Amino acid sequence: MTRPLPSDQLADSAFLKAARGEPVPHTPVWFMRQAGRSLPEYRKVREGVAMLESCMRPDLVTEITLQPVRRYGVDAAIFFSDIVLPLKAVGVDLDIKPGIGPVVAKPVETLADVEAIPDLTPDHVPFITESVRQLVSELGGIPLIGFAGAPFTVASYLVEGGPSKEHARTKAMMYGAPDVWDALMRKIAGIAAAYLRVQVEAGASAVQLFDSWAGATSPRDYREHVMPYSASVLTAAGELGVPRIHFGVGTGELLGLMGEAGADVVGVDWRVPLEEGVRRAGGRAVQGNLDPSLVFAPTEVMLGRAAEVLEAGKAAPGHIFNLGHGVLPSTDPDQLARLTDFVHEHSTR
Ligand code: CP3
């Protein structure tokens, strides 16, 4: 299967230009978790449909992915899915519980548990191929960002059995059972790479690797126990010829390594001043980094801070405006609409 050639309009989009570090007419903007619970139109279409089921229905995936694009006029769409979807697709017994997150029925402990997880093939996810194709044709010149969960973050859900603050069991495996850890991280890296390939071959024009919880590791442990596996996913994605965004939360001390792992764009959370994020990204483009809570501030306060982010972003070869993490569920969509307009109107590079 060959990837459809991007239209000129797509290749010339502000989002893809910024990701490649080329001059842009305005700073592109999109929001992590822009599709989802903060939108009334999302809650409406999700009524009576479980989260994972909605990810497997191309009609719903298309509609939900398009909702924020229609509402805000953002510069990119993020594929509506979840980081645990590919695990579900290969047969891991898990669910996404409302208000909790992914919950795994039988957490991974042993080498046999890892070996029982099948590798992912396109046949496991025909609904992803169909959803991406449908979306790309409806999006026209607007880029679609495909995504996968990075090995550490996905391993945490598999080993802990659910959301965790300390990731203690995960680290216990990392330090105490290196052979099991290596097998698990390789397994997840292979699944993530295959999952990204399916999305790009169906027409996604960029990918984001979400390592949301990597910030729980020290640079030393990240380099030794996490980075090689994320690098293998990013290297495989690089062979597909699309820009790669690498994002984590609380990863200030890891930004340099996350760039070196093979990112074209380094995602910066709000804890790191963007000027500093730009320095740590080592000559790469950056994405971020307004505090997601600033949408609850008076509009002029939020926009004042957005102006500072735009200014700081000018020092990078490319800047994609985003929040420092996902849109919080109680966010007023009108604030995001104002923010999107502001970024478009106040950014000349
Ligand atoms: O960004 C988008 O708008 C696209 C969709 C998207 C979802 N999950 C939909 C979702 C993306 C990119 C993700 C990635 C994801 N999932 C990450 C990495 C990004 C991040 O936020 O750090 C992580 C860690 C997960 C795991 C996960 N899934 C969590 C922590 C939760 C939230 C639990 C809760 O309800 O508080 C989910 C569920 C989830 N994924 C929802 C959505 C819209 C909410 C489910 C619902 O609507 O009932």
- Residue 72 annotated to the active site: no
Other CB atoms within a 10 A radius of the CB of residue 289 amount to: 24
Torsion, Cα 313 145 68 120, to 10 degrees, reads: -140
43 in a domain, yes or no? yes
Q: Which tens digit of pLDDT belongs to each residue from 4-62?
A: 555 678 889 999 999 999 999 999 999 999 999 999 999 999 999 999 999 999 999 99
Q: Rounded to an integer, what distance in angstroms lies between the CA atom of residue 114 and that of residue 294? A: 41
- pLDDT above 70 as % of the chain: 97
**Going by CA atoms, what residue is nearest to atom 2 of ligand 1?**
33
Give strand pairing partners of 247: 210
Residue 19, domain CATH: 3.20.20.210
CA 212 to chain centre: 9
- Residue 221 annotated to the active site: no
Q: Per-residue pLDDT for 2 more than 70?
A: no
217 in a domain, yes or no? yes
The count of domains in the chain is 1
Segments forming the whole domain that contains residue 80: 10-346
Among 3, 20, 33, 57, the one annotated catalytic = 33
What's the pTM value of the predicted model, to 2 decimals?
A: 0.96
102 in a domain, yes or no? yes
34 in a domain, yes or no? yes
Q: Which tens digit of pLDDT belongs to each residue from 200-241?
A: 999 999 999 999 999 999 999 999 999 999 999 999 999 999
Nearest to 264, CA basis, from 283, 292, 290:
283
Q: Which residues contact 157 (CB under 8 A, 6 or more apart)?
A: 83, 84, 94, 101, 102, 104, 163
20 in a domain, yes or no? yes
285 in a domain, yes or no? yes
4 in a domain, yes or no? no
133 in a domain, yes or no? yes
Nearest atom of ligand 1 to the alpha carbon of 326: 21
Q: Rounded to an integer, what distance in angstroms lies between the CA atom of residue 74 and that of residue 61? A: 17
**Going by CA atoms, what residue is nearest to atom 22 of ligand 1?**
212
